[in-house]
Amino acid sequence: MPGENLSREEARERAAILSVERYDVALDVRSALGPATAGEPRTFRSTTVIDFRCTRPGASTFADLIAPAVTSVRLNGRELDPAAVFDGSRIALDGLAERNTLVVDSRCAFSRTGEGLHRFEDPEDGEVYLYTQYEPADARRVFANFEQPDLKAPFSFRVTAPEGWTVLSNGAADGEPVPAEGGGATVAFVPTQPISTYITAVVAGPYHVEHDHYARTHPDGAVLDIPLSALCRRSLARHFDADAIFDVTKRGLDFFHESFDYPYPFGKYDQAFVPEYNLGAMENPGLVTFQEEFVFRGKVTRTSYERRANVILHEMAHMWFGDLVTMRWWDDLWLKESFADFMGAFAQVEATQFTEGWITFANRRKSWAYRADQLPSTHPVVADIPDLEAAKLNFDGITYSKGASVLKQLVAYVGREAFLEAARRYFKRNAYGNTTLADLLTVLAETSGRDMAAWSAAWLETAGVNSLTPQVMCDAQDRITELSVAQTADESHPRLRPHRVAVGLYRRTTEGTLERYARAETDVAGPSTVVAELAGQPRPDLVLVNDDDLTYAKTRFDEVSLATLRERLGELADPLARALAWSAVWNLTRDALMPARDYLDLMLRFAGQESDIGVLQSLHLQARTALVHYVAPEARDEAGTALAEGALHELRRAEPDSGHQLAWARFFATVASSAADLQLLQGLLDGSAKIDGLDVDQELRWAFLETLAAEGVAGEDVVRAERARDDTASGNRHEVRCLAARPDPAVKAAAWAAVVESDALSNALTEATIAGFAQPGQRELGEAYVAPYFAAIEGVWAARSIEIAMNVVRGLYPALQEGAMALAATDEWLSERAGAAPALRRLVLEGRDDLARAVRAQQRDALR
């Protein structure tokens, strides 16, 4: 629809003349139950009253609404003809007064894509659950509004729902539910503080709810009294560990209250774990929503609990960075996401049991950032976002993890207390308002005394990642005469930046470990910086130029250091240093500077010694990526066999019933392909084989079964039988994925039709089908879909919701096909479709860049 993609200029023009005083939104969701009308969307009634001011009486503007039908529109008492003023996404408003009241009565559609008001029917018990998800601009699928972040207002919601349902919104319930005419009950909620449309929320359904309470006395004497709740579907209640969730929540509230000196501003704190969620979580004030995969159905490693704690704290940080103070437009998305990413890790390390959080940050979050910053779509942390489609794609590794990495570097640059004091002033000055980069730089300059304009220009307003390489000269007595750090940048983004780094010197001890014996912290600037403090130190076996992970840069090595890592990487005693070394050699592999099989050799030799389970699981993901994409095609079978043998060896030697054993079992399942490997997986499923201590629970069964299905060993009957054992929402997704994984042209054709030619599948089942469709061992089956892919994607982009379209365009890109052929097809489409939607072209360019990188890595590996 023409008006769906709101532009930045339109938003600026509207904000220049409008201010919103209040919203009163009434939703009747009783239609979520009962049969749907064939051929028509299932809808609910939405009535919105908006009081707003206009600085230019007589002006025209528009309200946003995406709905199948509008029953009535009334502006300042005048009835407007819906057919004349509503085009499917916008309501035209002419002849505005200084003070205005808009009343819109509409029929909005329940969602199957996770956008707007999502409806889910639990296959286990038939219960129906609803929740909203709006970011960046899907509140307009639920109620009429001015859908941009800088038109904040208080919201009052009233929701009429079936009898017995739990109904929640941002604010607390205003009294008891009132019986509704025709059945059910209406719940009214107290008005919110002024917030943006995209963080309003409603959750409704027969949820299982657990309650707790947070009570503290603030240093200023104010009593903090925050009701807590956590909820999930009833069928998941037996797996729900709400006490652990409440523990992290309370620790986080303690940490943020102390750090920010600004009490939590939104009353209650509900956390809802909801089905078929598109995101990890969403920071709706007073009602945070999470993907229900954080309710663990089976045994998981400590990493899964650590990640859940990190997400809980990330969303909590948003209560201040994003909800209390919100960016004016999506250009400054980093003002909330970068800060939440950084503060989530900060709080996790300092306030919870997961003190290894910075290791995970260095190994996983920065890996995401480094990849994103080398794509052709890379952008400054402060981005140029012309419209909503561009905003949707900007929730990426730059905005989240590069921004967070830059903030970590900023803390090293200005000091912890200056950083936190800047945050405190920022909240107090801008509470319930909207800000830009300049507002933050002002307070940072005040508290640090640093030139923040220069820092911002270097780190926030230019794109690209630098590389830092040590250069070591020693004398005849094996003493360092000079150690310098060389800084380089890619030609496409040649900016060199100031870095606050720690340079660590390591050597092998008599106990056989690599230990740091000297460290210097310094500012690196320009192409070469001498670290004078390290002169005179004994010759090192290893120089780590970003020790302690203070800055954001790719770490390189001198020849001696790289040779040391090839032989002794596993001997690095410090887990953070070891994680940084693993990250560095992975970047060398991605950049085609190290053969992929050399990386796999390192993984097979040293991963079994890795104590940090999060790092180990990252190594598994990277090893599979190296095997599938970076190993020379003629060497894949041999490398795959070696990887599977090594994985099985480590699986058998891992401590029984440990997280490491579980991680190796899951990794083994992803690389197993020989007849003996597949026979073992079958035996573990049917009980004829056993590995001491390995509990093959339902989730692990599905992991094994997907491999068996993809290899043609397990057919439809086996998959259906497994679904009968696991007749749940998760079982449904696993079944769909396994069925689509089978190596049969008819299966692939059906899967393709289901996601490309039809919109019948929900978002979760679309993702599952795509995941099953693309199998590394079935490259020949994928060749038939290269041309259809490029013929279909513009139609998909135009017809489907952006979330589904993104999944299809990314997930079905021919990344597994022979490089030259797929690159040529991509280049032809890019050349012929110069006028395609910019966001769509961005996704295709990203797929092309990954494929071109894979080709370069394969060529390097072939020269090994």
Q: Which token pair is 102?
A: 């808009």
Bridge partners of 559?
none
| Phi, psi at 67, each rounded to 5° | -155, 150
Q: From 289, 282, 391, select the one nearest 806 (Cα to Cα).
A: 391
Token pair in block for residue 355 = 């003190």
87 three-state secondary structure: coil
Distance CA 423, CA 446 (A): 11
Q: Which helix H or strand E contains 438, and what residues bound it? A: helix 437-448
357's tokens? 């959080």
> What whole-number distance in Å separates Cα of residue 498 and Cα of residue 525?
5
Q: Decide if 346 contacts 600 (C-beta within 8 A).
A: no
Q: Which two tokens stand for residue 539?
A: 């010759």
HEC profile for 758-803? CCCCCHHHHHHHHHHHCCHHHHHHHHHHHHHHHHHHHHHHHHCCHH
CA dihedral 93, 98, 101, 104 (to 10 degrees): 10
3-state secondary structure of 404: helix
Copy the structure tokens of residue 720. Answer: 């259906």
- CA torsion, points 339, 341, 343, 348, in degrees to nearest 10? 180
Task: For the chain, count helices (H), then strands (E).
Answer: 29, 28
Rounded Cα gap, residues 462 and 495, in angstroms:
8
Q: How far is CA 778 from CA 75, 710, 718, 816, in A?
A: 59, 8, 20, 9
Element (H, E) at 22: strand 18-28
HEC letters along 823-838: HHHHHHHHHHCCCCCH
3-state secondary structure string across 204-270: EECCEEEEEEEEEECCCCCEEEEEEEEEECHHHHHHCCHHHHHHHHHHHHHHHHHHHCCCCCCCCEE
CB 832 within 8 A of CB 571: no
CA distance 588 to 365: 17
Q: Which residues pair with 287 in a beta bridge?
A: 270
Active site residue 283: no
Residues 6 or more apart whose CB falls under 8 angstroms from that of 507 comprise 514, 515, 517, 538, 540, 541, 542
Distance (Å, whole) CA 664 – CA 84? 62
Q: What is the rounded (10 degree) CA torsion for 514, 520, 521, 522?
A: -130
C-alpha dihedral sign at 750, 755, 756, 762: positive
Give the contacts of 803 (CB within 8 A, at least 6 positions apart).
Answer: 113, 114, 115, 278, 392, 763
470's enclosing H/E stretch is strand 466-474
Among candidate residues 147, 276, 315, 722, the one labeled active-site is 315
- Collect all residues with Cβ–Cβ distance below 8 Å to 850 and sequence separation of at least 6: 375, 629, 815
* Enzyme catalytic residues: 315
